[in-house]
Amino acid sequence: MTAGTDALTTGSGRPCVVMGHGFGATRDAGLLPFAERFAAAGSDVLVFDYRGFGMSEGTPRQDVDHRRHREDYHAAVAAARDLGGVDPDRIVLWGSSYSGGHVIVVAAQDPRIRGVISQGAAMDGLAALLGVQKTGGSGKTASLTSAGLRDAVRGVLRSAPLLVPIVGEPGSEAVISAPGSVAGCQNIMGPTFRNEMCARGILRIARNRPVRWAEKVRCPVLLVVAEEDNIAPVASVDEVARRLGDRAQVLRVPTGHFDIYVGEVFGTSVAAQVEFLHQVT
């Protein structure tokens, strides 16, 4: 998406916001309204799907792997830097939910990143799994782990993946089954979203800990905190803010994990994000 104004254009070109989605989601799931605001402010925007999801190629399909997600962010940043009219030194990363953590890691690995916008972020997979065990019981954790192990064996044998639901009602076998999750997903998910993932991805969640990378980030970061988040632990986002120190700006909004994309909260949040974009570019 090309900038709709020259407000942020310099002799070196325009900034570009690189946007990826969260856990198992696709680029048509609530990202366009944010992208349109960034473009209206004067930035180009690159919105992408991870390998194996949505419109992107790659196999296996529906395999949630934070390591590959981060590699794909780096590839998207490289593509953005090669776009005509884009200033390669004014790339801003944007992430939400699972990708809200990815952008912290990618910025830590790429010192040329100009700024980071992270909302409703999953900053500590281990803490999130402990939360699942607390709300769903040890039986839910054991069931998910068993499915993950069975699918890992299928991966070794190159058999068809064992797929499990990403989102479901409380008490279901879905990976995300916190109250309100199904309704929240229905509000934002686009036509390319598939409510299923390779069960092997469950085994990787505990190793996805962006909080450990925060101190290595050198650019400004805007953290939008959904104070009523019952999926991505807020305490982990607060810890990232503490580790970032004066590099962090924090906007706290009184809403849940999926509500951050819509309504009045969206308006408040995106206005702060556009202001941050102006500040850092």
pLDDT of residue 119: 97
Q: What is the mean pLDDT of residues 25-49?
A: 97
pLDDT band for 59, please (50, 70, 90 cuts): very high
pLDDT tens string 234-276: 999 999 999 999 999 999 999 999 999 999 999 999 999 999 9
Length of the chain: 281
CATH numbers and ranges of domains, the chain: 14-124+209-280 (3.40.50.1820)
Alpha-carbon torsion (74, 76, 77, 79), positive or negative: positive
Query: Do residues 147 and 199 make contact, with C-beta atoms less than 8 angstroms apart?
Result: yes
pTM to 2 decimals?
0.95
pLDDT tens string 193-223: 999 999 999 999 999 999 999 999 999 999 9
pLDDT tens string 131-156: 666 666 667 888 999 999 999 999 99
What is the Cα–Cα distance from 189 to 63, expressed in whole angstroms? 18
> What count of other Cβ atoms lies within 10 Å of the Cβ of residue 214?
23
Query: Do residues 52 and 60 make contact, with C-beta atoms less than 8 angstroms apart?
Result: yes
> What count of other Cβ atoms lies within 10 Å of the Cβ of residue 56?
15
pLDDT value at 57 more than 80: yes
The residue assigned the tokens 């101190």 is: 215
Q: Is 206 exposed, middle or buried (0-12, 13-18, 19+ CB in 10 A)?
A: middle
The residue assigned the tokens 């590959």 is: 68
